[in-house]
Each structure stands twice: as C-alpha cells, then as structure tokens.
Structure 1
Amino acid sequence: MTIMESETVHRSAYTSILPVTLADIEGASARINGHIARTPFVRSSSLSDHTGHSVHLKLETHQPIGAFKLRGAMNAILSLDDAQRRRGLVTASTGNHGRAVAYAARELGVPAIVCMSSLVPANKVNAIRALDAEVRIVGVSQDDAQEEVERLVEARGLTAIPPFDNVDVVAGQGTIGLEILKDIPDLATVLVPLSGGGLAGGISVAVKALRPQARLVGISMERGAAMHASIAAGRPVAVREEETLADSLGGGVGLSNRVTFALCSTLLDDVILLSESEIAEGIRHAWREEGETVEGAGAVGIAAILARKIELCGPTAVIVSGGNIDPKLHRRITEGADA
C-alpha cells in the first residue's frame, strides 16, 4: 500500500503543515539530552548478507527501561510546568510507555499512576510497580484503560501523559530519526514498528524533513493493526484488540486522534503486516544471530526482512523498539516453540 511518493515532497511541506515539525524534534533532542541513552546503531552482518544491502539495527532495547518510549515520556514530562508535575501524572499503556512514565516520574520526583488492561503481560506490570508507580488494571483493552485515565484527570486533577497522540511525545520519539541520519546520511529505508503511530510518525517527520527520498515503512501484526486499518479507511477507526506476540503494538489509535494519524497517513510510504509465526522468527533471529533479547514488537522489522515482505534498495535502518519480553515466553520461542 503506497501512501505517498516521497520524492516529490519538499522539506518545507513537513515543517509547515503537519502537527509535529523538525523544530519540535530538535528541541526535544536538546531537552532530553542526558536523560536518555543515545542507543547503539549496529550493522547486522546476517541481515546485510541476507538482503545484499547494508542493514543496521537501532537498538532501543538499550534504553534504561529497555524500550524507546523513554524518549517521548521524558520529553513530555520535562515540557510540563512545575504545577502540572506536582499534581501528579497519569497514563494508559500497553506496558512500555507506562514503564517510561514511571521511570521519568521517579527521576523527577513526581507521583505517577499507570492504567493498563488485563492483556498487558505480567512482566511489564511488575516492572512498572518496581519503579514505584501506582498500577491500575482496568478492562480488556487500551480503550478501557484510557477511560480510567480520563476519569482520574477529571476527579483528581492529574496531568495526563498520552502514550502516542501528543506533540511532545511524538517529538521525543522522533529523536531516533535524527540519530540514525547522523550515522547513515545516505539512508534509503527505515523499517519502524507501527502501533498508535508515535514512533513511526516522529521518525518519519525527522527523516522526511532531512532526507525526503528515504522510504519509511511501518510494520505491524495481522492481529488488530489499528493504524493500518485507519489508513486504509482514510480516518481513525476502531479495531478489536487481540492477543499477539507483538503486544506492545496493541490498542487503538483513538477515534479523535489529533496527531499521529495525520503523520502516518501522510508520511509512511508503505505498511506491512506480519503473522505470529513470522514475528516469532524475528525474535529467534535477534537472539541467535544478533545476540539481542527482543520483544515481539521490537522484532517486526527483522521479521519483515526474513519473511521477504520488503525489498530493500540501499542502506537500511531497522528500529528495534524494545526488549521487554517475558523470559519464559522468550525461552520457548528461541527454543523453537510454535507461535
């Protein structure tokens, strides 16, 4: 599904008509410097040999919380004034964003509540509790958790930190795009996990502004890919949330989406969906060939290459977004268990 021929669009288009600009991302980069890690960007010999093109892995698994979400959460919280922070923070999460908010809140000395559905794996729930945040398990979907956030904002005056549909959150995630372009100025393709669109949207803004000929490809799972369905429909739509190895990519985009739908529907050049067995193979490859423990959502770029669902045309960046997988599940998959 080709969304846009990027070669025909100039840098000015990205910095003037979309809700997040290159200036927002550059500001975020300066703001979060020293609070997050500049993660490794390493060449994968196995994937480069497999494709005949240079493939590099951006290892957001090396963030302090094991996932890219710290960038957006930290930028959003640092962008608040003192009064907003003192009221306390609240968010809805499928796991990694909640962990990011909890980590940033503890670092900055403010209280936080994280609302999650019963589909969130126990290891992610326990990791958030370990960071001293209050956890609330509500319902069976991200939408149910978001309703609890809205109730707490209304009842207690807490400050919400959205998981993706927020300019400051998206700008923080977009700093990954700045980093990969510094390392590979002649970048041809970026493979990025696609869920609510904060990561894909932010990286797309940065890369398309600085290298408009680069191709941005969103990768998601076949089970409940909300942004893919929304782009196909031409508007945000609801999808049924299902269990998947790529649990961090679950949840909807929000029917009143203000930021990420516009970014993804305008800037992504393609969207690819993967089966559960293909995602499992990506997890196995990351462990056996790259020496990295990667969760399902973080393995989708690798999986798309292995499944030959993407044809590369030059230097490629694969965003490995997180490594917070349940250890028992990881062991079963890497030992060859069926997805």
Structure 2
Amino acid sequence: MSEKLPIGLEDVKDAARILDGQIERTPLRRSRTLSEITGADIWIKFENLQFTAAFKERGALNKLARLTDEEKKVGVIAASAGNHAQGVAYHGRRLGIPVTIAMPVTTPFNKVEHTRAFGARVLLKGHTFDEAKEHAEQVRQREGLTWIHPFDDPLIMAGQGTAALEMFEDKPDFDTLVVPIGGGGLISGMATVAKAHNPDIEIVGVQAAMYPAMLNIREGREPHGGGASIAEGISVKNPGHLTRRVIDALVDDIVLVEEAHLERAITLFVDVEKTVAEGAGAAGLAALLAHPDRFAGKKVGLILCGGNIDTRLLASVLTRALVREKRLANIRIIGDDRPGLLALVSTIIGDNGANIMEVAHNRIALDVPAKGAEFDILMETRDAQHTQEVIDALTQAGYPPRQN
C-alpha cells in the first residue's frame, strides 16, 4: 500500500537526515495529571519548543533544502495563517533564500510580526487562508517564485513525519496517536511512520467542529467550514489532495472538538504542564477531553504542535476558564440607596474569603426603585462551592444576589 501513496517511511527517514542538527529534537514526556484527568496514559510531544514554536519548520526545511540553486536564488512564496510562514521564513533566512508570505488579514498579530522579524516579505490579503493562497498564486506567477505549499507536498509531509520518528524512538509501544488535521500534512507524515512501525496502531485525527472538511470528504460530503475558531492553525476549508490519499489509507478515525474543549485544553496545558499551546496545538488533548471513553485505558501519543497564541487571546481563554469553574463570579445586588450599603456587602464577601475584583454601581436603571441602588460585583473565589457559600451568606444577610 505504501508504494502507491505520495510518501513512504524512507521519505521520512531521508527528511530526518536533512533535519538532523538543524531543528530541535523536542522532548516526549508523560503527563501523570492529564492521564488522571482523561483516563488515558498520555504522552506529549512538545513541538511548541521548536525555535518557531511549531512543528511546521520540519516540512519547510525539508522542502527548502532540496530546491535547486536557481530556485533558491529567485526565492519562494507561501500562504499561511502563521506557523508555516514562520518556518519558511526562518529557514529561508538561514539558507539565504528570499521569502514572501501571503497571510490572511485575520492572522494573529504575533504571528505576522514574528514572520517579518525572520526577514520575510509579508503580504496581508483576504480574510481566509484560501483567499490569501489565491493572492499568493498570482504573485508566484508574476514573479517566478517557487511555491512552498503548507501541506499538500510530499516533501512537506515527509518532513512533518519526522516528529513521529522521534516519538517512536523514545516510546515504541503507543496504542494510539491523536493528531490535529487542518490541511493534513502533519497527520499524513505521522501516520506513515506509525503504520510502518506498527500496522495495528490506531491513528485518530482531530478537527475543529467549525472546520470539519477532511471528515466531510471522508464521509462523502462537500468540504466546508466557517467561523472564528480559536484553532486557526487547522481552520482549513479545502484540505490537500495528496494528504487525502494518505489519510484515507492510514487514518482510522476523525473526531471533532468544540471550542469549549479547545479552550479547556489550552488552560490545562498552562495549569498542568506549565506550557503554552495555541488552539490547534491543543486539539489532540481537546479530543481526549471531548471523547474520554474513546481513549480510556490506552497509551496515547499527543503532539502539542504549536504554541503561537496571541497573548491577549491567551489571557481571555484563561479568564473564561475561571468563569466556567465559577472561580470568577459576577453577582448583582439590589438594595436601598443608603450610606454604608456597599461597605456592608463588601464586608460579608470579604469575611467569607472571597476577593472583590470590580464593582459597578447603577442608580438609574429603570428596573431599580428610585430610592434603590444596584451593584454588579465581580468576585474571585476558590471554586463553585465557595461561590455558593458567599451567595448564601449574602442571602442570609438580606441581600440575595442574582448571578449574571
């Protein structure tokens, strides 16, 4: 079967020889806490520790290193939402190759700036990857540049597969690999290695529910997708044609994850592993959170494939996690507009061990009596039970709050 596919194990081994000493050999570590949370035996490949904070530089370097001298002189172009762009730009500069990158205008600011910092010419065009890609193709034809596809290229796919080679060198006995799918380059390379190592291993792909293109193709539907997913790295409407062939042959299943599971996975990586994952990078863990029975008791290899998340977005995700866990609670209290009311309420909250973060005081809302006052209080507590204890104390004191 492998001879009929775009890549085989030897292609990945050839890529590993080119990459040797040129990229980080990232660690594979077992997570005891995440294993306890999910019920699976979880091992994580920390590709967010690459210099560009993502696996994409594996495929980019494998492709760039094999260009002809003339192609290197004229330069290359790529379209990317960020991580492929940084990988191509970084290794292009290392190899002395001029790099142009077309990126959607929605690309996180940090990814745009990092790509420019690596010396690339950045063209911001379109609101989706596909629109940026269309613009890049026009520039490629006009300037005679070499196209560096983010996923649908055998050299790119083989380069990404080197991550799996390292994983099996460190731990040969995985039952399952769980791998994010956008265009399909990463899972194509990793599945090629995994099935050659053990034909019985289970390969499970993960897609954001907003962008289920590869799953739709597998099930005979038209690819589609849309929406502002936190996993922009796998928000691909039209996955690769070469990657489809590998996925059809080697990938056992594809599961979908909702945004809430992606957010929780990002939060757990911060809280438990003390590491940063972007939405796409956390998709593997999100799959285990969304489908725990599917993976219970199995030795599961996850690839934390990227850590390039905008700091403002990361702050929002972590704050939203506190709200979900009811460690941040917004309560509304309506009472008489008299001196000392806020002090009394604040004392009750403080005496019960909670911390007031913000207070909004409203006297003109029409649903509040003319002689009344309304307070919106944002408070920090230990957990949901502690929040309820504070609410009970306020109720007993005659100021029953409403939770917003």
Structure 2 CA distance for partners of 1:277 and 1:258, relative to 1, 3 Å: closer
> Alignment partner for residue 329 of structure 1, among 294, 313, 319?
313
User: What is residue 260 of structure 2 aligned with on the other side?
Assistant: 277
User: What is residue 71 of structure 1 aligned with on the other side?
Assistant: 58
Match for 2:288: what amino acid? I
> Alignment partner for residue 251 of structure 1, among 232, 236, 242?
236
User: What is residue 185 of structure 2 aligned with on the other side?
Assistant: 198
Distance in 1 separating the partners of 2:88 and 2:228: 24
How far is the alpha carbon of 1:327 from its aligned partner?
0.6
Structure 2 CA distance for partners of 1:258 and 1:275, relative to 1, 3 Å: closer
Q: 1:262 aligned to 2:208?
A: no
* Contact 2:85/2:101, CA 8 A, preserved across alignment: yes
Distance in 2 separating the partners of 1:128 and 1:24: 28
User: What is residue 72 of structure 2 aligned with on the other side?
Assistant: 85
How far is the alpha carbon of 1:17 from its aligned partner?
1.5
How far is the alpha carbon of 1:308 from its aligned partner?
3.1
CA-to-aligned-CA distance 1:279-330 (integer Å, 9 cap, x gap): 1000000000111111010111111222335324432101110000001111
> Alignment partner for residue 304 of structure 1, among 269, 283, 287?
287
How far is the alpha carbon of 1:45 from its aligned partner?
0.7
Match for 2:289: what amino acid? L
* Contact 2:224/2:238, CA 8 A, preserved across alignment: no
Match for 2:233: what amino acid? S
How far is the alpha carbon of 1:88 from its aligned partner?
0.5
**Aligned-partner SS, 1:38:** coil
Q: 1:99 aligned to 2:86?
A: yes
* Contact 1:94/1:250, CA 8 A, preserved across alignment: no
Q: RCO (CA 8 Å, sep 6+): is it higher in 1 or 2? A: 1
Unaligned regions of 5+ residues in structure 2, if any?
325-404
User: What is residue 123 of structure 1 aligned with on the other side?
Assistant: 110
Q: 1:181 aligned to 2:168?
A: yes
Would you tell me which structure has more strand in proportion to its own residues? 2
* Contact 1:94/1:251, CA 8 A, preserved across alignment: no
* Contact 2:41/2:297, CA 8 A, preserved across alignment: no
CA RMSD of aligned residues (A): 1.6
Structure 2 CA distance for partners of 1:111 and 1:66, relative to 1, 3 Å: same
Structure 2 CA distance for partners of 1:33 and 1:231, relative to 1, 3 Å: same
> Alignment partner for residue 241 of structure 1, among 226, 236, 245?
226
User: What is residue 299 of structure 2 aligned with on the other side?
Assistant: 315
Moved more, 51-60 or 316-325: 51-60
CA-to-aligned-CA distance 1:35-62 (integer Å, 9 cap, x gap): 1111011110112223444211000000
How far is the alpha carbon of 1:331 from its aligned partner?
1.4
Unaligned regions of 5+ residues in structure 1, if any?
1-12
How far is the alpha carbon of 1:243 from its aligned partner?
1.2
TM-score by length of 1: 0.91
Moved more, 38-47 or 49-58: 49-58
Q: Whose radius of gyration is greater, 1 or 2?
A: 2
User: What is residue 13 of structure 2 aligned with on the other side?
Assistant: 26
* Contact 1:141/1:241, CA 8 A, preserved across alignment: no
CA-to-aligned-CA distance 1:20-79 (integer Å, 9 cap, x gap): 111100000001111111101111011222344421100000000000000000000011
* Contact 1:253/1:261, CA 8 A, preserved across alignment: no
Match for 2:298: what amino acid? G
How far is the alpha carbon of 1:334 from its aligned partner?
1.6
Match for 2:269: what amino acid? A
Distance in 2 separating the partners of 1:325 and 1:229: 27
User: What is residue 9 of structure 1 aligned with on the other side?
Assistant: none
| Alignment size in residue pairs | 322
CA-to-aligned-CA distance 1:205-240 (integer Å, 9 cap, x gap): 110011111111111111122222222227xx4424
Give the alignment of 1:147-226 within 5 angstroms.
147-226=134-213
TM-score by length of 2: 0.77
How far is the alpha carbon of 1:173 from its aligned partner?
0.2
Identical counterparts, % of pairs? 35
* Contact 1:193/1:301, CA 8 A, preserved across alignment: yes
* Contact 2:214/2:223, CA 8 A, preserved across alignment: no
* Contact 1:60/1:320, CA 8 A, preserved across alignment: yes
How far is the alpha carbon of 1:188 from its aligned partner?
0.6
User: What is residue 274 of structure 2 aligned with on the other side?
Assistant: 291
